[in-house]
């Protein structure tokens, strides 16, 4: 049978045996009127007064958004927030682009994310986790993290965090407090909450909030600088909004995570020999760093010694910024890299992504079908698959006609698990 898999802004079609298990998230219908539902959520929020009633005419307002690596429909939700607060002059707003430790987004990218009119009329600041001059130190959190946060955010009178909710490969779910930490946190804060012991914790995984040390660490850090209001959305494959969760940043986020868990987790009976995954197309598959998420989703149901085939365009390279690329070349094998990362005192930006990738590679062989040159893929310690169908056919011959094969067309949007569900939220 033929299965269509997102790849950048296009698709790849793979031919697989009829007995292949295709795992997709459950369908959730787009809202019949996105703007109306969004407006109602702002006016009847969860655990909070309505947004307009909480803001004063003289307030300086910060709106935190997610960067271009996320599919959040900023081009819709930000104008809707500004319309709801139309009694506030636009000169009193600042939009903070929550890049975390990613690169700054260009003006063209910001226009793509927000629309030309917003870029031209509202002040926008790209967060820089590495510039202490733009950060404020708030002290140490209850979990022991040094908390550095964007100065624009701290100095605002009223702070709104936006985002979207989906399963996350070590924080449990995206959205909520993650918009602040790591979204607009300093690199010292980010590295502490992405340390080797925390990333390696068995509870730091997909769709788990209860007992997740990274989720707990993020909540503790954000408690020192909580947003006054949160608005998160859930999305379908075409970026249509399927749900709006607004209000208290903890209570509203929890409700959103509960809704996502019902639709985006699925149990399978036993591990598979071959798992084919995507990173759900652009923007999630714009670089290899982000595409590690699709690999880890596949690893949930891949047997020890099995094979994962990742389909991700990676138009933005590995990327070139940060230490992900150089870290991958600091060890001769995934085992060497894990040994390096776990060495006492070792700390390097992007080590968490390399750690997750190496953990997957110790479990399974990982092929990558992408736009990257084969040499670049090999330097990343992955197996290149320029001929996607040829690679799949060879693997099917290797494992035999009874091979158990699964496909995750949506990549990290669908989180499979074996026997016992991971979606423990409370």
**What's the token pair of residue 283?**
């923007």
Per the residue annotation, which of 4, 27, 58, 102 is the catalytic one?
102
Residue found by looking up tokens 């990742």 in the block: 310
Per the residue annotation, which of 127, 152, 168, 369 is the catalytic one?
168
Examine the residue annotation and report whether 102 is marked as an active-site residue of this protein: yes
Examine the residue annotation and report whether 253 is marked as an active-site residue of this protein: no
Residue 124 burial (CB count, 10 A) = 19
Q: Residues with catalytic annotation?
A: 102, 168
């Amino acid at each position: 049978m033929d299965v269509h898999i997102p790849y950048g802004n296009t698709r790849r079609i793979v031919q697989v045996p009829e007995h292949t298990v295709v795992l997709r998230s459950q369908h959730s219908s787009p809202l019949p009127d996105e703007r109306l539902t969004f407006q109602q959520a702002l006016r009847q929020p969860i655990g909070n007064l309505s947004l307009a009633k909480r803001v004063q005419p003289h307030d300086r307002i910060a709106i935190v958004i997610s960067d271009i690596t996320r599919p959040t429909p900023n081009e819709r939700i930000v104008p809707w927030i500004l319309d709801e607060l139309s009694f506030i002059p636009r000169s009193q707003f600042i939009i903070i682009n929550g890049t975390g430790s990613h690169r700054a987004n260009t003006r063209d990218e910001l226009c793509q994310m927000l629309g030309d009119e917003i870029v031209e009329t509202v002040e926008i600041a790209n967060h820089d986790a590495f510039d202490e001059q733009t950060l404020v130190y708030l002290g140490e959190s209850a979990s022991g993290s040094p908390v550095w946060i964007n100065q624009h955010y701290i100095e605002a009178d009223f702070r709104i965090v936006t985002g979207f909710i989906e399963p996350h490969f070590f924080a449990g779910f995206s959205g909520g407090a993650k918009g602040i930490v790591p979204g607009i946190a300093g690199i010292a804060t980010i590295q502490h909450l992405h340390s080797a012991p925390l990333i390696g914790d068995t509870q730091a995984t997909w769709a788990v909030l209860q007992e997740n040390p990274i989720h707990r660490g993020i909540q503790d850090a954000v408690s020192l600088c909580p947003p006054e209001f949160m608005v998160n959305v859930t999305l379908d494959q075409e970026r249509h909004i399927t749900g709006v969760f607004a209000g208290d940043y903890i209570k509203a986020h929890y409700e959103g995570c509960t809704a996502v868990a019902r639709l985006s987790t699925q149990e399978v009976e036993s591990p598979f020999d071959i798992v084919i995954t995507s990173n759900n197309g652009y923007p999630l598959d714009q670089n290899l760093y982000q595409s590690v998420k699709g690999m880890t989703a596949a690893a949930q149901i891949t047997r020890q010694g099995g094979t994962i085939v990742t389909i991700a365009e990676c138009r933005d390279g590995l990327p070139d910024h940060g230490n992900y690329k150089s870290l991958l070349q600091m060890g001769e094998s995934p085992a060497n890299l894990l040994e390096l990362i776990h060495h006492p005192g070792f700390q390097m930006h992007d080590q968490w992504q390399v750690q997750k990738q190496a953990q997957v590679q110790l479990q399974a062989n990982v092929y990558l079908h992408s736009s990257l040159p084969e040499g670049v893929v090999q330097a990343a310690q992955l197996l290149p698959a320029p001929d996607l169908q040829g690679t799949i056919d060879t693997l099917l011959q290797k494992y035999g006609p009874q091979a158990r094969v699964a496909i995750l067309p949506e990549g990290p949007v669908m989180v499979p698990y074996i026997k016992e569900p991971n979606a423990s939220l409370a």
